[in-house]
Each structure stands twice: as C-alpha cells, then as structure tokens.
Amino acid sequence: MKKTLVASALAAVIFVPSVSAIEIYKDDKNAVEIGGFIDARVINTQGATEVVNGASRINFGFTREMSDGWKAFTKLEWSVNPFGNSEINYNNDSSIFSSDSDEFIHNRLGYVGLGHDTYGSLTIGKQWGAWYDVVYNTNYGFVWDGNAAGVYTYNKADGAINGVGRGDNTVQYRNAFGDFSFAVQAQLKQDSFEINELVPSAGPFQATEQNFMVSGGLTGTNSSSVTTVEYNNTYGAAATYNATEQLTFTAGFNLGEFEATTSQGQKFTETDYIYGVGITWGGFDNDGLYAAANFNKNEYHDTDNIGRMIPEAYGVETLVSYKLENGIRPFISYNILEAGDAYQAMYGGDVFKRQFAVAGVHYVWDANTVLYIEGRKDFSDFTGSEEAAMSISEDDGVAIGIRYTL
C-alpha cells in the first residue's frame, strides 16, 4: 500500500518509537504541530537511588503545501532536562559524544525537506539514520536502551559521528513502492577530534599502528601524546518489507572511513562498517503480541566502556511484549554485544561482552500517559585489566516512572 506523504516524508524520517504530536495550527497551506514527552523516573543502580530525567524532549513540525503535489516540511527537536543533573550514567544520554548535555535544553534533531506521494522525500540536516530503520524494533524499553544494535555508538552516544543514530549533516532520500520501502543517505561532514595514545605494542591496529581511545574515557594513562582522528563522510541504506499486516523484515548497512595521525606523524585509515537484519511481529502499541529481533556484524564501529575502539563485534537484540486490553503491557528484552578475538589480542586478553536482560511492566493509562517499572539484570563479562571501570555503567538496576506524552 502506497504510503501517504505525511507517513513517508514525516513519520518515516522521524523513525522513532511511539511518535505523537498535536496539531496546533492548520490552514489551506500551512500546518504546525507540537510533540514530545516529559519522563521522570526514580532509579536505583550503581549503589545509588536518584530522581533522573528520562530523555524528555519537545519538538515542532511545520508542513507547507506546494505546487504539483509537493510539500515542504521541517522538524526541530530539543532534549529538555527539567529535573536537575544526576551522577548516575546508565543510558545513551550520558556520553561526551552525545548531543545531550547538562544544560536544560539542547539539540536532538533539526532538518528540512521536500516530499511527494510519488517521488518520495528528500531531507537535509540532523535526523535519524537509515540504519535505525533496521533495528528500531527492539528499542522500546524506556529506561535501558538496547546498546547492542550499533545505533548509540562511541560508548552510548547518539550515533551522530557515524550517522547510525541521530546523524549530523545528513542528506537522506526515502520512498515506498507497495509493501516495500527504502532509505538511502550520505553524511557529508568533516569531523576532527583528538584521542589519547596508549602503549604502541597493544594497539587496535596491531603492531604497525598506535592504540588509541576516545579522550575522556580511560583515566590513569601516563601518556601525554594524542592522536588526531579525522572522520569524514559516511553512507548508509536500509530496506523494509511488510510481508503481512503483522510481519515485517528489515535489512541495511552503514559505512565510513576515518584517518588518524599519531603524535609521531604516522598516518593510517580504517573502515567503519555495520550490516544486519531485523524481523518484527505486530505493533508495540497495539493490543496483543509484539515480538522483534535484530542481528548485526560490525568493524571499527564502536568503542568499549572506557573508550577503546572495538575492531570487530556482533550484536543481537530481542524484545517480546504483550499488551492486554486493560492497558497493562509486560515485556522482556535480551541484548548482547560481544567483541571478537581481535579485541582480546589488541588489549592484552581483555574481554568485552556486554550482555543484559530487561523486564518490565507498562501501564498504558491512555495513549499519552504511561506508568512503568523496569528492572535490569546484567550478565556482562569484562574480564581483564579494566574490569572495574568497564562494569560501572552496566550494573543491575530497577526504576519506576511516568511518561507524559504531548
């Protein structure tokens, strides 16, 4: 079934779970809507209990009717933190590379585009990457994100650097033909940042290159030298096939290349890539059974919990829920991101296996108000020299909260 323009050019571009918006103005040419949610939670994890912000946000969408069936549109979204700062860092809103910060308001999305029912949509700006189409289906837990699908890269940031999450400077085209839809994108940017050099013999690029890590991640190194990393354009694509009203298949990839220069002038390049598939049954907000899973393989795509590059890994995410007619929705999810033998060889035998399960109950009081409790049990394995530092953000936990959607 051919998607309407609003679906293909707006909702698909903002491919996030539980999109909701209120139309606040409309005439024969222009429309304005406001959306977002406020989420407050009490969480116990990492030996502390705190009130924390649940990635609250506000957004505005503008649509304008043009000639010959075209529409112009734009979306602006900001994260808001109305509850104060927290010492607990447990999800993808706490990394130095995230768009989020300790400020009350900061940018999450911002793009402008053109769309047509036949010719599809073209958007430019900071927007959800095509890769998210492949793996969004397991990202419905409120408290603990699925951090194994390759979206929130560079230790749980927002995926802006390599365009798999809320990618910066992205040009994206989308269209749909019957039950098949697709997205292709290019991230056109010139990023440069510095990272600390460690012991050359233990480097992630084997004996010929220096080991490096994202600055701010690992403490206690006695190296004062830095490596400069240039991360330029990235490219991605995704396809979605709605086999039935209930069953959906997804597949896609994302790739880029970065170049690094050590303090000694040595230059080298590596390719960052990820590819994978997903399968979904039902709709998370619909009554009845919802089940989803995705799988990915990647190289030089992410960092471990202290900022060291992961040379290769695989990730699996799964989620099963059942929404009752009374609004109660229990769910359980399982996630694993495991680095391969190359990681152990590069870091003196250290192990990286992020593995955890989340179970919870949502009470959907109405479509826009949800009370919830979620618990996380960690099964990770970080055996090695940095086990204590690696384990801090992967602790067990429990949280209760309320999400009020506009």
Q: Mind listing the pLDDT tens digit for each residue in 337-380?
A: 999 999 999 899 999 999 999 999 999 999 899 999 999 999 99
- Give the number of other CB atoms < 10 A from CB of residue 162: 29
Structure tokens at 253: 């990839």
Q: How many Å apart are CA 139 and CA 121, to the nearest integer?
A: 25
Burial class (CB in 10 A: 0-12, 13-18, 19+), 171: middle
What single-letter DSSP state applies at residue 190?
Answer: -
The residue to which tokens 């900071």 are assigned: 126
Q: Taking the C-alpha atoms of 191, 197, 201 and 205 in order, what is their torsion angle to the nearest 10 degrees? A: -10
Give the residue numbers spanning the domain of 77: 5-405
All residue ranges of the chain with pLDDT < 70 are 1-19, 92-103, 194-227
Question: Model-level pTM?
Answer: 0.88
Q: How many Å apart are CA 39 and CA 82, to the nearest integer?
A: 9
Nearest to 307 by CA among 386, 191, 396: 386
The enclosing domain of 355 has a CATH number of 2.40.160.10
What pLDDT does residue 71 have?
98
Instruction: Report the alpha-carbon angle 140-145-149, nearest 5.
Output: 95
The residue to which tokens 């992961």 are assigned: 310
Structure tokens at 111: 């793009």
Q: Could you tell me if residue 243 is left (phi over 0), alpha (psi between -120 and 50 degrees) or otherwise beta?
A: alpha
Is residue 256 a contact partner of residue 191, using CB atoms and an 8 Å limit?
no
Per-residue pLDDT tens for 191-219? 777 665 544 333 333 323 344 444 433 33
What pLDDT does residue 207 have?
29
What pLDDT does residue 189 have?
86
* Identity of residue 189: K
Domain count, the chain: 1
Q: Could you tell me if residue 287 is left (phi over 0), alpha (psi between -120 and 50 degrees) or otherwise beta?
A: beta
Q: How many Å apart are CA 346 and CA 188, to the nearest integer?
A: 31
Question: Phi/psi at 395 (nearest 5 deg)?
Answer: -75, 160
The residue to which tokens 């959306």 are assigned: 35
What pLDDT does residue 190 have?
80
Pairing label, strands 70-80, 120-128: unpaired
Q: What is the DSSP string of 146-176?
A: --SSSSSHHHH--STTTTSSEEEEEEEEEEE
Q: How many Å apart are CA 161 and CA 256, to the nearest integer?
A: 10
Burial class (CB in 10 A: 0-12, 13-18, 19+), 178: exposed
